[in-house]
Amino acid sequence: MNVDQIIIIGAGPAGLMAAQQLALKGFEVHVYEQNKAAARKFLVAGNGGFNLTHSEELESFVQKYEAEEIQDIVRSFDNKKVIQWLEDLGITTYVGSSGKIFPTKNFKPIQVLKAWLDRLEQLGVTIHYDHTFLNFDDSAVYLKNNDEDISVKYSKLILAMGGGSWRKTGSDAKWVETFNNKNIEITPLQAANSGYNTEVKFHQLQGQYLKNIKVSFQENHKIGEIVFTKYGIEGSPIYYMNRFTRKHNFPVIINIDLKPNVTESEILAELKGSDKISPVLKRNLKLSTAAINLLKTLDKESYLNIENLAKTIKKFPIEVLSFRPIDEVISTAGGVAFSELNSNLELKKFPNVYCAGEMIDWEAPTGGYLLQACFSTGFWVGNSISKS
Ligand SMILES: Cc1cc2nc3c(=O)[nH]c(=O)nc-3n(C[C@H](O)[C@H](O)[C@H](O)COP(=O)(O)OP(=O)(O)OC[C@H]3O[C@@H](n4cnc5c(N)ncnc54)[C@H](O)[C@@H]3O)c2cc1C
């Protein structure tokens, strides 16, 4: 193999986007992937509604990323460019619920991936499956292929091995140990876009949904839908709160406003107008059965005190005990610290070695923001290399 070739480890969205960008600029690109197929997590993301980016206006879009470095990178290859890129692959999109961007219904996730892989093949990108990254040094990357250890020389090496959730998709985060051994700082991987384990008293509500409610934690608020589970709560407003609650020691209290469009005094006025509480909750305030069941987890005295009840409808406290186990959550926060990377996402300790995608220390809520940052960082690295 020629030493001038670009080597990419990981055939996920970030690695494949870097491959495409470099192949378009005429580079010879080889991608090494430990699975027998590409982008398994990308396909898993497709199972629950394949939202590839979000239609939000760019300046509020980038606020979804706390890491400023990612904000600039997303600006450079933004949601409009993702839609354009998909169109170039022949994949049409539409804006779905809450502004999320999906492929039109005639495209299954596997078809989106196939269109992308076909394009990469046309551009001359080679993907070597069944190759597991083990290590790298200044000039070569070390891999295992069918029990055989091999080394491959690189001119530029891009590491795009993903975060640490859903290990069965291939993102097993074993690279963390390799990086630790090289004294490259890694912010510990933590559950992100995770449900919460809550106090046991809420477990009886398993399977019940609260719709159009507002979840709050300190000054952060998010309207949406949540579901009670056998261990606690899940849902996009919950995932949104992850990054804020992570900064505190558990347990923490999050609050739920069951009637975001009605004031506490309006609720109280309705409750004062009747001797019986339940009919008012149901008929006058139009609370759902799930919301009423939640209120019934209060002790009797608190439930029957209408001043207290009105307050609690606006601010129902839920004690959160912990995140869910890392392997079952949608993504991980943490990863390669930005202090280890220059503005090209190149490792300062290893010039010519770049990182892209979820393995870098940023996080974002679901809604297309995760894939967007993976596409954008892949593009950014590819572009940086092609200009160097
Ligand atoms: C259930 C679920 C639903 C999701 N839904 C959405 C959504 O709707 N919208 C959204 O934006 N995001 C969603 N995501 C998140 C999104 O899929 C990920 O953020 C994204 O796939 C990360 O891309 P990546 O390229 O950084 O890493 P990955 O997609 O994880 O790809 C990394 C690749 O590297 C390979 N690899 C790892 N280690 C090695 C090694 N040692 N040697 C060789 N190869 C290796 C892996 O096998 C894998 O193929 C979802 C994720 C999950 C799990």
SS (H, E, C) 22-71: HHHCCCCEEEECCCCCCCHHHHHHHHCCCCCEECCCHHHHHCCCCCHHHH
Most informative mutation of 242, 336, 363, 371 for ligand 1 (most atoms within 8 A of CB):
371
Q: Could you write out the DSSP letters of every residue in 191-204?
A: EES--EEE-GGGGG
CA of 90 to the centre of ligand 1 (A): 23
- Assigned architecture for domain 6-191+327-387: 3-Layer(bba) Sandwich (3.50)
Encoded tokens for 68: 């400023």
How do strand 156-159 and strand 353-355 relate by DSSP bridges? Answer: parallel
Peptide bond before residue 103 is cis, with ω within 30 degrees of 0: no
Cβ neighbours of residue 72 closer than 8 Å, sequence gap 6 or more: none
The domain locations on the chain are 6-191+327-387, 196-323
Q: Strand pairing partners for 73? A: none
pLDDT in tens, the chain (388 residues): 444 689 999 999 999 999 999 999 999 999 999 999 999 999 999 887 899 999 999 999 999 998 999 999 999 999 999 999 999 999 999 999 789 999 999 899 999 999 999 999 999 999 999 999 999 999 999 999 999 999 999 999 999 999 999 999 999 999 999 999 999 999 999 999 999 999 999 999 999 999 999 999 999 999 999 999 999 999 999 999 999 999 999 999 999 999 999 999 999 999 998 889 999 999 999 999 999 999 999 999 999 999 999 999 999 999 999 999 999 999 999 999 999 999 999 999 999 999 999 999 999 999 999 999 999 999 999 999 999 8
Asked if residue 12 has its Cβ within 6 Å of ligand 1, the reply is yes
Encoded tokens for 377: 């960082």
Most informative mutation of 9, 239, 370, 375 for ligand 1 (most atoms within 8 A of CB):
370
Residue from 251, 243, 253 nearest 217 by CA? 253
pTM here?
Answer: 0.94
Instruction: Report the alpha-carbon distance of residue 378 to residue 11 in Å, rounded.
Output: 11
Helix and strand counts by DSSP (H, E) for the chain: 14, 19
Asked if residue 366 has its Cβ within 6 Å of ligand 1, the reply is yes
What backbone torsions phi and psi does residue 122 show, to the nearest 5 degrees?
-60, -35
In ligand 1, the atom with minimum distance to the C-alpha of 35 is 47
SS3 225: strand
Asked if residue 170 has its Cβ within 6 Å of ligand 1, the reply is yes
